[in-house]
Amino acid sequence: MSQPFFSPPFDAQPVTKPGDQLLVPDYPIIPFIEGDGIGRDIWRAARRVMDAAVEVAYGKQRKLGWMEVLAGEKANQLMQAWLPLETLEAFKTYKIGIKGPLTTPVGGGMRSLNVTLRKELDLFVCQRPVRYYQGVPSPVKNPQDVDMVVFRENTEDIYTGIEFQSGSEENERFLTLLKEHFPAEYAKIRFPGSSSVGIKPISKEGSQRLVRAAIRWALENQRRRVTLAHKGNIMKFTEGSFRAWGYDLAESEFGGRVYTQRAWEQTRKQAGEEAANAEMQRALSDGKLYVNDMIADIVFEATITRPRDFDVIATMNLNGDYLSDGLAAQVGGVGIAPGANINYDSGVAVFEATHGTAPLFADKDMANPCSLLLSGEMMLRYLGWREAAGLVVKGIEGALTAKTVTFDFERLMDGAVRLSTSEFATAIIQHMR
């Protein structure tokens, strides 16, 4: 691994995964990317809070072994690469990491550093918990009803980046291939002469490992429902297959612990709706997890009008992108929305702020660090350090309830006190103690 950029702290040890469980030392090496723009400000604040939470929870018994790795503008300046191979290797080696927001190069190169990181590390789950914190300004009447976790597939769908630009030689070759071999499909293109074309791959393997992760997480965390969100009524062989493969996985691998909407539909056809309802009631009374599905556009409407009907949502890449940010808006916006990119098979997980770099506010010590900090809370929980994770939440809730907040919330709250990013971190730590 390249030196001097990446040097783990003395005596710190890597997190490992020799079997099904992570082995976490008391002083784990944690690679971090501070991020571009406001990433520098929010990282300093988030690191202070996480270190304080660990100290309050465990004294000197445990400590986070921070090791900076590079990506984005800083990496390009120092290593002439937007995402150095050494950074990818560090996350693979040490399993658990955290990152701030990153700039995407404009005018060429990678489509997105975030997408590239997820693909290269095969972080197939984008996990986005969305819940309300008392006192946060919200555009909806009952934000306290929102408590959901989105499991978004991270590696397929249109984010594979397979597309051809209108007028390019590649596009013409692809359209010619389509016209010659699939004339009926070619005929569906309204204006082929000026159309750019993209391809949307959805696989059985990718769909089922995402649904497996969502169901396992729901069972381990005593959740009551997993909803498969899809647009299978229109895209029958991609999103429709996601739905079918999800049900197949649920029933074959978790049959004794789940009850599916598909099973209910089959019983209704064979024995009538009354028998199906009775069967479902028995299953849910026995504590089984309910797995259902819903058309994606209806999910958008229903999560606003009846959010209590939702718990864990498993969906594909683009749906999950829209949905997770839309849900975040109900509880205060992406500034307070955490996220994680996880491969539950290898154990590699990169926790991240879910917002952009906001360069206009960079280096002004004014940005809200909650998205990154709550992602750190997810990281602590993933490490098994639940006491420290709970202290982070306690500190944030205390600062929000006291109306001591950063400018984005202060301007929307009556009687609030505006704090800088670093002052807000101090307030969180005080409430934590």
Residues 243-277: tens digit of each pLDDT: 999 999 999 999 899 999 999 999 999 999 999 99
115, pLDDT greater than 90: no
For the full predicted model, state whether its pTM sits above 0.95: no
145, pLDDT greater than 90: yes
The token pair at 294 is: 């819903």
173 is in an annotated binding site: no
2, pLDDT greater than 60: no
243 is in an annotated binding site: no
Q: How confident is the model at residue 3 (pLDDT cuts 50, 70, 90)?
A: very low
Residue 104, pLDDT score: 74
Backbone dihedral angles phi then psi of residue 218, each to the nearest 5 degrees: -60, -45
Residues 200-255: tens digit of each pLDDT: 999 999 999 999 999 999 999 999 999 999 999 999 999 999 999 999 999 999 98
Contact 135, 150 (CB under 8 A): no
Mean of all residue pLDDT scores within the chain: 94
368 is in an annotated binding site: yes
The token pair at 143 is: 């934000």
Helix H segments across 258-369?
Answer: 261-271, 273-285, 296-305, 317-330
306 is in an annotated binding site: no
Cα separation of 316 and 227, whole Å?
12
131 is in an annotated binding site: no
Residues 369-408: tens digit of each pLDDT: 999 999 999 999 999 999 999 999 999 999 999 999 999 9
Q: How confident is the model at residue 134 (pLDDT cuts 50, 70, 90)?
A: confident
Q: How confident is the model at residue 344 (pLDDT cuts 50, 70, 90)?
A: very high
341 is in an annotated binding site: no
Residue 135, pLDDT score: 86
Q: Which amino acid is at 170?
A: E
Residues 154-195: tens digit of each pLDDT: 999 998 889 999 999 999 999 999 999 999 999 999 999 999
- Omega before 4 within 30 of 0, i.e. cis: yes
171 is in an annotated binding site: no
The CATH superfamily label for domain 1-123+339-432 reads: Isopropylmalate Dehydrogenase (3.40.718.10)
Residues 80-114: tens digit of each pLDDT: 999 999 999 999 999 999 999 998 755 555 568 88
- Which residues are the active-site residues? 159, 231, 297, 321
Q: What is the CATH number of domain 138-157+201-331?
A: 3.40.718.10
334, pLDDT greater than 80: yes
**Residue 114's closest CA among 135, 148, 147, 87?**
87
Cα separation of 388 and 377, whole Å?
8
371 is in an annotated binding site: no
For residue 396, CA distances in Å to 53, 56, 169, 370, 388 come to 11, 15, 54, 8, 13
Cα separation of 126 and 337, whole Å?
13
Residues 41-92: tens digit of each pLDDT: 999 999 999 999 999 999 999 999 999 999 999 999 999 999 999 999 999 9
- What is the number of residues in the chain? 433
Label residue 341 left, alpha or beta by phi (over 0 means left) and psi (-120 to 50 means alpha): beta
Residue 188, pLDDT score: 95
Residue 5, pLDDT score: 60
Indicate where the chain has its CATH 3.40.718.10 domain(s): 1-123+339-432, 138-157+201-331
Label residue 95 left, alpha or beta by phi (over 0 means left) and psi (-120 to 50 means alpha): left
For residue 57, CA distances in Å to 31, 51, 304, 388 come to 22, 10, 37, 5
